[in-house]
Chains A and B, each alone.
Chain A
Amino acid sequence: MSLAGFGGVLAFARRGIVEEHRWMTADEFNETYALCHFLPGPNVVNLSVVFGSRFRGVIGGIAAFAGLVGPPMVIVTIVGALYMRYGEVDALRRILAGVTCGAVGLLIAAVFRMMLPLLRRRDIAALAIMMLVFIAIGIARLPLQVVLLAAIPVSIAVTYIMRRGTA
């Protein structure tokens, strides 16, 4: 079982799972993805364990985890060591500044794509909760724990009421 295609950020995983292999639809991906947070923690790692175990049980889960985290960890540690030594070199500084722009752009694009199902459904409540979390964490810079302990019950209550309303 090759998990090479998995390697990488959410954008890679989403592209591989939804757009190339069509293992899941956009909504299914969102929900599995959300599941992998509600079990909090690194999403792609959780996703790999859940995926791996769905295909091959416990062994699949462990294999997916080791395959996903092991080799990249070695590489990134080496790169990190190089950065510690050469981080002040001017050319490297400029390159990293450029890469940061690209990385933030990718993150914005991933956010946009995840919002699309909500926008299509005109899910105002979900979009409002999304904005509040964004403001609390991104602008007010409140601690994560505080925001989530307030936001999770509210979001669950709102979703529950909305579903009852439409059912």
Chain B
Amino acid sequence: MTPNGNPVWSLVLTFGLMSLFAVGGANAAIPEMHRIAVDVRHWMTDREFADIYAISQLSPGPNVLIVTLIGYSVAGITGALAATLAMCVPTAAFAYFVSRWLMQSRRSQWPAIIQASLVPLSIGLMAASALVVAQAADRTWAAVLATIAAAILAATTRLNPLWILLIGGCLGFAGVI
């Protein structure tokens, strides 16, 4: 955890530890990533963080890829690989074993209780993520309106999410937002 040490190790430590607390997944850990990457370690600015989030959502693939981008910006390709694996592999192995264990212990009520009790936590964390990214981005009233419009569009229609991102990009390019 030394600030002057090898940045790859600090990436592995940061995301390895974070993955153990990422109840709700990568999207739920966004506030924590922001706190560490921007406020604690000064790896990037607020705006860069918001940009990286946008890129990770625009790219195909799971949203954990924001970790890949943070890793890349800190320590290049090695950083990208190290950060992604540190975030994924331990918990993926864990998920595999726990899901097997749960299949065998269906009769116990505890797994169901623990699962149900984590639902509100993960929703709360994701809501916090939305707020943190919104605040990190350059805010204008047009942008707030566009965000609300996107939320309504996504909640009420079956439009492919990619279209919503692309429409946002086009509006941005046109200088509306």
Chain A residues within 8 Å of B, Cβ to Cβ: 7-12, 15, 19, 30-46, 48-50, 53-54, 58, 61, 65, 68-69, 71-73, 75-77, 79-81, 83-84, 87, 91, 93-115, 118, 123, 126-127, 129-134, 137-139, 141, 143-145, 148, 151-152, 155-156, 158-160, 163
How many chain-B residues does the 8 Å CB contact rule pick out? 107
Which of B29, B60, B170, B172 counts the most A-chain CB atoms under 10 A from its CB? Answer: B172
The closest CB in chain B to the CB of A71 belongs to B61
Q: How far is the CB of A8 from chain B (nearest CB, A)?
A: 6
Q: A97 near B143 (CB under 8 angstroms)?
A: yes
26 contacts between A and B (CB under 8 A): A9-B63, A31-B115, A31-B116, A35-B102, A38-B115, A39-B95, A41-B92, A44-B26, A45-B88, A46-B25, A53-B100, A54-B99, A69-B88, A76-B55, A81-B72, A100-B51, A102-B147, A102-B150, A102-B166, A103-B168, A105-B151, A108-B151, A111-B127, A112-B155, A132-B124, A155-B120
Judging by beta carbons under 8 Å apart, are B133 and A104 in contact? yes
**What residue in chain B is nearest A91 (Cβ atoms)?**
B173
| Cβ–Cβ < 8 Å partners of A38 in chain B | 23, 98, 114-115, 118
| Residues of B contacting A: mostly | helix
